[in-house]
Amino acid sequence: MAIDWNLYDPKGGYDELIGSPGIPRPSATNLTAWLRSLSDDELQMRKLDAELAIIDKGVTFTVYSDGENIDRAWPFDIIPRVLPLSEWRGVEAGLKQRLKALNLFIDDLYHAQKVLEDGVVPRELIANSKGFRQECVGIHPAHGVWAHICGSDLVRDADGILYVLEDNLRVPSGVSYMIENREVTKRVLPELFENTNILPVDDYPDRLLEMLQSISPAKGPRHQVAVLTPGIYNSAYFEHAFLARSMGAQLVEGADLRVDQDDCVYMQTIQGMTRVDVIYRRVDDLFLDPEVFNRDSMLGVPGLMRAWRQGKVALANAPGCGVADDKVIYSYVPDIIRYYLAEEPLLPNVPTFRCHVKAERDQVLANLETMVVKPANESGGYGMLVGPQSTAREREEFAVLLGANPRNYIGQPALKLSTAPTLCDGSLEPRHLDLRPFILQGRDIHVTAGGLTRVAMKRGSLVVNSSQGGGSKDTWVVDSEIA
């Protein structure tokens, strides 16, 4: 039996493909009509082809479980998520606005700190920030940009509005999976690319390289770019290797680099030592340079901060940019946009309660059953409370945590995340999802067309992180006026 969209029930929420029972959204008309034409056997065969393609291409991610690192094939659903270009243009403008303001904010924090003097952001939040690096004060990175690669997570509530859930500015991951998702989709659903105008995403490595070269201190057309990875045991190692290979850059570990007495960075090659101009570092700040941060670090490069401070090498993302990755600082981003750009935010934040403010903390504590409570500096879905899916004991434990360290937490009402049809055990079911577009800023600024859609593969779950059992979909930005 082929897909019968009349039987698909999004259960009263906002569905990305189906506007009302049996009726697809305009941008998804071609896709749903084609899926309807497939038999069950054909659909399952395409699904199997996608799984084999992912294994064949070696697309994996690492899950940390019980003290072990487990490599798994990338979980992928073949039914794409579709966004109309008319909506995407507004999202794209909002993301650019957001990253511009965040970079002005970070640069200000490491220089005049006017935003603190003017009381827009409380000074004590920066004084207690885990991401603020005193060692970065007074440094002037190229173009005044600190966060060169940003992955902002977007979610759509039942009202149909896309909200910014958080900004990932330190070492945002997932862009390689966005590109691989598209490659696999082209392989298993080639017919759809012939009659649907889908914006491309495969130009990302070229855009990334162009951005990295734009911050290079070297003069002339040639710039030596390297991707610095913690190594094969890092959960994002697949991505580090993918990006280096796609850009034609070198993939290096700390031991491959050396800072000489001229304070320049050199890389060991078969031709001898070669100077490195730009490093896309995927190593956390505290492990980046044992001369400055963690003295026991085996992942970093002694003297790297010295080279960066003297303008001999560019680092992306710059050390210290994590001060704006803080989820408490996230709650101030609308004010930050108004302060630096004198504009109203184009994308709304999810309503957020700041637990360092007593009245707001009391609101969170009184409504834990309906709240999502997050620590300020965790990622990957770790360390948070999803109130509607929590136990009484978990809520009691979180109440203690909030009381002990209120600066470290925010609370947000649990949204009714949008869904999309997903193949689950031979049937079609709605699954909640989010979206992580990637924004690049160097001399210019660029946003990917769509991004990485992550899917909660468990029925009813709101947690989409792959490390927590989530999957993914290809994301199509479709120009319906041409399709």
pTM of the entire structure?
Answer: 0.93
Residue the block writes with tokens 């998804």: 28
- The segments of the chain whose pLDDT lies below 70 read 1-2, 62-70, 379-381, 466-469, 481-483
Contact indicator for 250, 212 with CB cutoff of 8 Å: no
pLDDT of residue 424: 84
Contact indicator for 234, 281 with CB cutoff of 8 Å: no
Contact indicator for 463, 457 with CB cutoff of 8 Å: no
Structure tokens at 94: 């909002």
Candidates 316, 462, 272; CA nearest to 381 is 462
State the greatest distance between any 2 C-alpha atoms of the chain, in Å, as a whole number: 71
- Span between the terminal Cα atoms of the chain, in Å: 28
pLDDT of residue 381: 63
pLDDT of residue 483: 43
Structure tokens at 442: 């160097």
Say how many C-beta atoms besides its own lie within 10 A of residue 361's C-beta.
Answer: 19
pLDDT of residue 445: 98
Q: What is the Cα gyration radius of the chain? A: 23
Structure tokens at 451: 């991004």
pLDDT of residue 2: 63
**Cα distances (angstroms) measured from residue 63 to each of 8, 188, 431, 459, 469:** 32, 27, 21, 21, 9
**Cα distances (angstroms) measured from residue 35 to each of 5, 40, 79, 428, 456:** 10, 10, 9, 11, 22
b/e map 311-340, b = 16+ CB within 10 Å: ebbbbbbbbbbbbbbbbbbbbbbbebbebb
List Cβ neighbours of 479 (8 Å cut-off, separation of 6 or more): 84, 85, 197, 199
- Consecutive H or E run containing 41: helix 40-57
Classify strands 452-455 and 427-436 as parallel, antiparallel or unpaired.
antiparallel
Tell me the sheet residues that pair with 84: 478
